[in-house]
Chain A
Amino acid sequence: MRNHHNHDSTRPGERELLESVHPTGRRNPQPAPCYSLVVIGGGTAGLVTAHAAAALGAKVALIERNRLGGDCLNVGCVPSKAIIRTSHLYAGMRHAEQYGGQIPADIRVDFAAVMARMRAIRARIGRADSVQRLEAAGVDVFFGQARFTSSDTLTVDGLKLRFKKAVIATGSRPDTPSIPGLVEAGFLTNENVFDLTELPRRLLVIGGGPLGCELAQAFCRFGAQTIIAQSWPLFLPREERDAAQLLADAFARDGIEVRLNTTAVNVRVENGQKLVDLVSEDYKSTVAVDAILTGTGRVPNVEGLDLQAAGVDYDSEEGIRVDDFLRTSNRRIYAAGDVCLEHKFTHTADASARIAVRNALFPGRQRLSALTIPWCTYTDPAIAHVGLYVRQANHRDIPVKTFTIPMHDVDRAIADSEEAGFVKIHVRERSDRILGATIVARRAGDMINEITLAMVAGVGLRTLARVIHAYPTQADAIKQAADAYNRTRLTPLLRSLLRRWLQR
């Protein structure tokens, strides 16, 4: 939920989207005397909450200050994946010879067409998040800024809403790095990058988190001269070193200029170009670019809600404080999604919303900490993770062992010429219990789901080894890891017993 979009509603796809997510000229309905549940924010967490509560028969109101669908639909997962798909296509054309194909004589990128496709996709997916669908489900939808006036009332657009329970799902927004001159020079974030009409000739991406990495690669593949500056020694600092290293290699292969351990310290505009001073330890340099994209973290949307009036504790950086049941310091009010979670993903927003609804409307005791949350950065190769990292297991004194299958040992990856990557499955030492996994592969996001399923269902590697995987698939790497586990069960004693049996 944001208030500073600058979408041009005349573009194809844009009108259709707006009709779904914020129809022009629509008037807010007359509020009911008291709602069972008021949801503040119409992003993923808010929509899931509203639909789930309405389906259970609750009288629900949803308040959105801008567009339904939130970041994910409008300026996040959906548009980024749409353009990443096109960028794969261009990378494929340039590497056609690797597949025995011909490189097209003239590879021209029609950036406007890329963005038009993205908008059409966004509009189509946006239908699911429409006002009409919410209303059909019996939800009263209000557009405007919500402000709490007491522990059980709030106002929106001059209307007073009374609630028994409320869920705050106002999301987050990109953090603005405090680099002198950046704001004056102008910069892109995920909020406005998808409004671009022309491809910047030279692009500097500041920040090597998921968004920065995905978009740096996509824009590079569209033909922008791209530099990515990351203040840490590796990209995606949370991920395993090998994963981050493979990504850095892939970037270099794509022709991205990789500047690790590098901080942007100053921006100025000269002759219409942006000059950015970069510092790496004691090495200083200046780069000239046409656009700067920042992806340096997100901050929760906690302002303007008058949370104090409702007695809801919050922190401007960490968001609304919730317990493991997602309840805030006001017993009537819960929170879900980015505004209160460390892992700011669409699917965690969705999962947390389901917990918040259950716990708010029923004497539910569902815990956030019980969730098994995977995530994926959709670069090429993609990097997906679920569960514990080895260092986390070590810190908790859990003995951990990793079964590693490099993708160059997987027939389908070889056939696809997609051998950069691996499957690493971490198990508790001397058991087959899966603690976590990291997958680096072209379709790591799809592959990680099998591991997540196994973890949630309590299925270990022994069982995975019995699961027949369609051949040839890249997910066969998971079966190979399970087979490797099985081979380690063959102790010398067992081996000699087997030999004796076979030689009897």
Chain B
Amino acid sequence: MRGSQIQTSIVADEALLDGLQRAAFSYFLEAVNPVNGLIADTSRDGSPCSIGVVGFALSVYPVAVERGWMTRADAVERTLAALRFFHDSEQGEGPETTGYKGFYYHFLDMHSGARVWRSELSMVDTALLVAGMLTAGGYFRANTPREAQLRGLVESLYLRIDWRWSQSESKTIRMGWKPESGFLKYAWDGYSEAIVLYVLALGSPSHPIEGGEKAYRAWTATYQWENLYGYDFLYAGPLFIHQFSHAWIDFRGIRDRFMRDKRCDYFENSRRATEVQREYARRNPHSFAGYDENCWGLTACDGPSQPLPERADPRRRLFGYAARGVPYGPDDGSLAGWAALASLPFAPEAVLCAARSMRQRYPEMLPADQYASSFNASLAGADRAAWVAAGHFGLDQGIVLVMIENHRSELIWRLMRRCPHVRAGLQRAGFRGGWL
């Protein structure tokens, strides 16, 4: 390619990314309750708030300010609304509070902010929420009363979380707790999106988890380092696991003991996970429509479920909302376009190529330029358009927006690299080197 062609291509990529990022941002403007700053889990009618989505919202407001999509004052007000809500909401053991021990329930009523769906007090979703708060606290550093108040709220909300309690009797952090039945049986087992949870839980100056690096290592003791399709990597099937902690933490060049032993880092690991997804899609063991090295993205998403339109093969099993993954599935032919794009920082060339190809072949997966949770080309209708999940999901919009930004400007990574709690948490987990 000649110089001018390269230049044209870069400009085209920037325009594409900018458009997708901006479209994703509009979700946070439409799905917000401006009174309390809560954001709906999905755009579907009656959707409650998901606290993880609020964490993403708090992370994208600074992006919007930097990109000129929102005034700083507006961003500060939106952030303050959410922080005040969480600060003032009811914390307690009862079944209809907003949180307990500084953690919050996974799903909250959009208006009252009380727990809904008998959801669990969620450790990892609280971590996503708090990561967003700390991002906001790192960005709004101006010496104004509003921004000072904002920073104060962030600090107090972070400090009040009793991470130690979340270990219950075990070394590792429990996945959740319910007032009706106590801690969930599930514990974090195997590599997952929980690094950011451990970093925040270790970095707390007030209630850090007990055991320090030992607690972190108790979690990494369930890691599986595998050679699959010719790639050595820390295995996890669904793609989002290789992305969510990276929304906030720049893992380039920093290594915990596990990664030092493996001569790798989590960023490089996510690049390899991207390659493994491409390899799986190229093999396409179930012969689904569309799959190839430029059309992939198996992750937790909302796919088709039974009963399905008559066009479907009755023997086909469909999994609805499920953590799809490679290489063992579940795989029903549903791919998440957003998940492919959210790997942008790890493998820019391959990901851009896939993003363009998928968008061109299945424009229906991007209603209003916002990624649907999934599409399924094997269930194409008479118009040959792929089946597309209804509405939009906040987590999908958040991760796409933030990962594009990290690729373009590293804004979120830069803010969090400066956060003393994150640095402390990483160091206590045994991370060394690089920017640390």
Contacts and interface: CB of A to CB of B under 8 A. Distances in A.
Interface of A: 97-98, 232-233, 240-242, 245-246, 249, 252-253, 261, 281-282, 390-391, 394-395, 399-404, 406, 408-409, 419, 422, 424, 429, 484-485, 487-488
A394 B190 contact: no
Contacts of A424: 226
Given A409-B283, A429-B261, A232 B227 contact: no
A395 B185 CA distance: 21
Contacts of A485: 227
B328 A245 contact: yes
Given A408-B327, A409-B283, A281 B222 contact: no
B232 interface: yes
23 contacts: A233-B185, A241-B190, A249-B328, A249-B329, A249-B330, A253-B317, A261-B185, A281-B178, A281-B184, A281-B185, A282-B181, A394-B220, A395-B221, A402-B226, A402-B235, A404-B226, A404-B227, A404-B228, A406-B328, A408-B285, A422-B327, A424-B226, A485-B227
A391 B221 contact: yes
B170 interface: no
B223 interface: yes
Contacts of A249: 328-330
Candidate in A97, A394, A429 with the most chain B CB atoms within 10 angstroms:
A394
Contacts of A401: 225-227, 232
B225 A487 contact: no
Nearest to A98: B315
B292 interface: no
Interface in B305-337: 315, 317, 327-330
B317 A403 contact: no
B285 A419 contact: yes
Interface of B: 118, 178, 180-181, 184-186, 189-190, 220-230, 232, 235, 237, 261-262, 283, 285, 315, 317, 327-330
Candidate in A242, A281, A402, A487 with the most chain B CB atoms within 10 angstroms:
A281
Contacts of B328: 242, 245-246, 249, 406, 422
Nearest to A419: B285
A406 B280 CA distance: 10
A488 B227 contact: yes
A395 B219 CA distance: 11
The 9 lowest CB-CB distance pairs between A and B, nearest first, are A282-B180, A408-B285, A394-B221, A402-B226, A406-B327, A281-B181, A282-B181, A404-B228, A404-B226
| Main SS at interface, chain B | loop
Contacts of B317: 252-253
B346 to A, nearest CB: 21
Contacts of A391: 221-222
Contacts of B315: 97-98
Nearest to A246: B328
A390 B283 contact: no
Given A241-B190, A281-B178, A409-B283, A394 B227 contact: no
Contacts of A232: 185
Contacts of B184: 281
A97 B313 CA distance: 13
A403 B226 contact: yes
A484 B230 contact: yes
A429 B315 CA distance: 42
Nearest to A400: B225
A488 B225 CA distance: 14
Candidate in B184, B229, B237, B285 with the most chain A CB atoms within 10 angstroms:
B285
B118 A282 contact: yes
A283 to B, nearest CB: 8
Given A402-B226, A406-B327, A484-B230, A233 B221 contact: no
Contacts of B181: 281-282
A488 B232 contact: yes
Contacts of A394: 220-223
Nearest to B327: A406
